[in-house]
Structure 1
Amino acid sequence: MPSASPRLAAPRNGSAPTASTRPLGGPWLVTGYDGRLTAYVHAEDTILRWTQTTAGGSRWQGPESLSAKGITHLDVVHGQDRYVHFLGLRTRPRAGGLSHVDVMYATQYQTGRPMTPWHSLGNPFKEIEKAAEVGAPTGVVRSDGALYVCVPTGPGGVALRRENRKGAWVPWSVLDAAGATDGPAPAATSDALVQVLVPTRVSALHLRQLTPGRPMERGDEAQVVPVPGSVAPLETAAGRITYYLTDAAGGGVVALRPGSWPVPLGGAPADGRIAALRTELDGVDCTVLAVRGIAGTVTLGVCATEGEQSGVWWTDTAMRCQGDPSLARDGHGRVVVAALDTEGRPAVARQEDGQGLTLSDWRRI
């Protein structure tokens, strides 16, 4: 059973965010190839970055500012190569009150190093009216490093653009989905197959590859409606993805494995994204979930991996937060939870020695 402390240790330095740096998204917590953690927070025209000075240590450098001028709807994704990819939209006004919308991306190749300039992936539509209706991009990195980017489109569809094995971008394609609400959730398995869970008005539609690099095919359509933006995919067995989502009807967290019935897990999440992480606790393969609860605090859930029917142990950490928490394992293999406190500053709590998931006090970084 997880245990957590509500106390927030005093920060070493730093001040509350100003209006220009007020958080718009995040935090995202990423473990680099060298084992150091990096926390990212989206603010107006910038991405704020904090980096551990040593793997598993308690000291951080930052915040550093990475340019994101005009970027909205930021998403941060990474793969086995530990490269960090930033996705977003850039909108430029045109004559006649119309706007030109580009899907944008940039990459950070090493922990603490500069990121590349922003590059345009264009837009699935040439018609300016349709292009303006494209929604927030989401992405996933295949095991061979190829980046896949999905966007919801105005008519309720989903479009995809991806890299091939050589790193070249192939043209946009429209997936076989209709009635999509928002937030397609792409996932990649260890055998380089990509799949996407698409929230619709009446169900959750599963699209999948049968062969790496090939077009998506329609799979199961589960009779559960995800809250847009809540879905978190996690590979819970070789080649098998479990999707954790908030049920729009029941309000609780649900585990969904395509081809199986949805499993209600309880909890009381708010309307944000769920964070999911697989780790070993007391010698048992476990899944850790983190949500911002309806009370506005970070709530953790722990269960045996793919053993959700045996129960999920939920604990309210009493840490009040903005936005949605993030999970990662540090260079020593310990679970670390990151969240934005009520003043918009990132704070972390890390796994301590003891049975189950015992967390340290929260500390601003």
Structure 2
Amino acid sequence: MNGDWLVRGRDGRLCVSLTSGEAVLCRAEHLPVGAWRPARRTGGEQRLHPVLAVGPGADGYAHLVSWRPPVPGESGPVHSTHFRPLLAPLDWVPIGHPDKKGDRTGVPAVAVDAEGRAHVFVRNAGAGLSMVAQKERGGWDPWRDLKGSGVQGPPVAVTGESGRVEAYAATDDTLLHWRQAEPAAPPARDDTARAAARPGTLRALATSAGRTTLFFTDASSGELCAWRPGGATVPLLPAAGPGRVAAVRCLLDGRDSTVLAQRAASGRVALAAYPTEEEGAGASWTEHGPGLPPDAEVALTLDHTDRVTVAALEAATGRLLVARAQHDGPGVAPGPWQEA
């Protein structure tokens, strides 16, 4: 899965999206901080490949993107919108193919602009990056080739505080960045940085007005690093484990802070916090909760009271564990873990 699969809906309920065989499932709280309802299938009985991108909008709607195999040997991206956690997501809608026709080209990423339009990014057959966006009054624009070459692993997409969409991708030795110069404009190449990111470890977060931060694990050093276009990459702390990091902003002791979570090599969830965009202030991991299998993914969000909430999802079984953070001192520690 790629993106924020743990989402706070506009009614305050938390919702998770996950893949299960040839389907995408959604689960939601019956009430905020209440019991979780059983999983429901997204988009009817359509068969999907086991891949999912999720991007929440400022309106609390979650946009889902997957690949559907219409005929043997071919696939096409499909999109659905989940308006409220207790409602069923919309049916899957085909959005064309980045190369007009063919099989899967990569794991997609999706972000939502200030007007609620989804922007879908995916590596194309030429190992560049392509994008398609929703029209203002329904339907989709044509796919655009955003250029680039040698893209490895999934791209990531993020919406800045301005409501404009940005995307990041990595080659074997370079980080690539695209951003919208103005609302509704196609994202354009903006900056690059020399770095070898471990494939599948990119995560982006809006961290201030006009700026987003890319987190990635350096392939050679194993350091979790941060990069803001226009600046240099900055080592933050050793990665707790091999997978992607989750990130969310919140107030800790009244200070704008970034909280990170990752499945540690021990199998437990590791958390770290530091003042937003002040990587030099230092951060350190603390491990929490039970041991998780290697396929577990970790996510962060803020609940209806703006408490940091961490979720761990076991991909093979669909088991979901959730804990709300208890803010105490300079760090952030979760309370009891509950199986949803």
What is the TM-score when the length of structure 2 is the normalising length? 0.92
Match of 1:74 among 43, 52, 59: 52
- Calculate percent identity across the aligned residue pairs: 32
The counterpart of 2:226, out of the listed 252, 255, 258, is 255
Which piece of structure 1 moves more, 255-264 or 40-49? 40-49
* SS of equivalent to 2:328: coil
**Secondary structure of 2:38's match?**
strand
C-alpha separation between the residues in 1 aligned to 2:328 and 2:234?
Answer: 29
- Assess if the C-alpha contact under 8 Å between 1:26 and 1:323 holds in 2: no
Q: Which residue of 1 aligns with 2:13?
A: 36
Residue 93 of structure 1: CA displacement?
A: 3.8
Larger Rg: 1
CA distance in 2, matches of 1:304, 1:234: 14
Partner of residue 276 from structure 2, selected from 302, 305, 326: 305
Matches of 1:68 and 1:326, distance apart in 2:
27
CA contact (8 A) 1:27 1:41 kept: no
How many residues end up aligned between the 2 structures? 334
- CA distance in 2 between counterparts of 1:265 and 1:242 reads 12
- Residue of structure 2 aligned with 1:282, choices 245, 253, 258: 253
CA offsets 1:90-148 (integer angstroms, 9 cap, x no match): 12444xxxx1210111111122101111110110223x5xx225111111001210100
State the alpha-carbon separation in 2 of the partners of residues 314 and 171 from structure 1. Answer: 44
Q: Is the 8 A contact 1:26 1:41 kept in 2?
A: no
Aligned-residue Cα RMSD (Å) equals: 2.1
Indicate the residue corresponding to 2:298 in structure 1.
325
**Secondary structure, counterpart of 2:84 in structure 1:** coil
- Tell me which residue corresponds to 1:47: 24
Is 2:36 aligned against 1:60?
yes
Q: C-alpha offsets along residues 38-62 of structure 1, whole Å, 9 cap, x if unaligned?
A: 122210133333222222x242222
Please say if residues 27 and 324 of structure 1, whose CA atoms lie closer than 8 Å, have aligned partners that are also in contact.
no
Shift of 1:304: 0.5
Distance in 1, matches of 2:34 and 2:68, equals 36
Closer/same/farther in 2, CA of residues 121 and 89 from structure 1, 3 Å limit: same
* 1:91-170 matched pairs, under 5 angstroms: 91-94=69-72, 99-126=73-100, 128=101, 131-170=102-141
Is 1:219 the counterpart of 2:190? The answer is yes
**Paired position in structure 1 for 2:311:** 338
TM-score by length of 1: 0.86
The 1-side partners of 2:6 and 2:163 are apart by: 23
Q: Report SS of the residue matched to 1:182.
A: strand
Q: Work out the CA distance in 2 between the residues paired with 1:27 and 1:260.
A: 26
| CA–CA distance in structure 1, aligned partners of residues 20 and 326 of structure 2 | 31
Residue 267 of structure 1 corresponds to 238
**Distance between the aligned counterparts of 1:106 and 1:26, measured in 2?**
15
Where structure 2 has 5 or more consecutive residues not aligned to the other structure, the ranges are none
- The CA distance in 2 between the partners of 1:350 and 1:362, in whole Å, is 8
2:204–2:213 contact (8 Å) kept in structure 1: yes
Change (3 A) 1:68 1:273: farther
Structure 2 residue identity aligned to 1:118: W
* Residue 235 of structure 1: how far off its partner (Å): 0.9
- Rounded to whole Å, the distance in 2 between the matches of 1:354 and 1:269 is 22
Q: Which amino acid aligns with 2:164?
A: L
Q: Larger relative contact order (C-alpha < 8 A, sep ≥ 6)?
A: 1
Q: In structure 2, what is the Cα distance between the partners aligned to 1:323 and 1:159?
A: 29
Distance in 1 between residues matched to 2:289 and 2:85, nearest whole Å: 31
State the distance in 2 between where 1:26 and 1:125 align: 23
Secondary structure at 1:309 match in 2: helix
- Where does residue 202 of structure 1 map in the other structure? 173
Measured after TM superposition, the shift of residue 215 of structure 1 is 2.7
Q: Take 1:312 and 1:281, find their aligned partners in 2: how far apart are those partners?
A: 14
Summarize deviations over 1:55-84 as a string: whole Å, max 9, x none: 2x2422223333463212111211101111
Shift in CA distance, 206/25, structure 1 to aligned 2, threshold 3 Å: closer
| Structure 1 CA distance for aligned equivalents of residues 224 and 16 of structure 2 | 25
> 2:212 aligned with 1:238, yes or no?
no
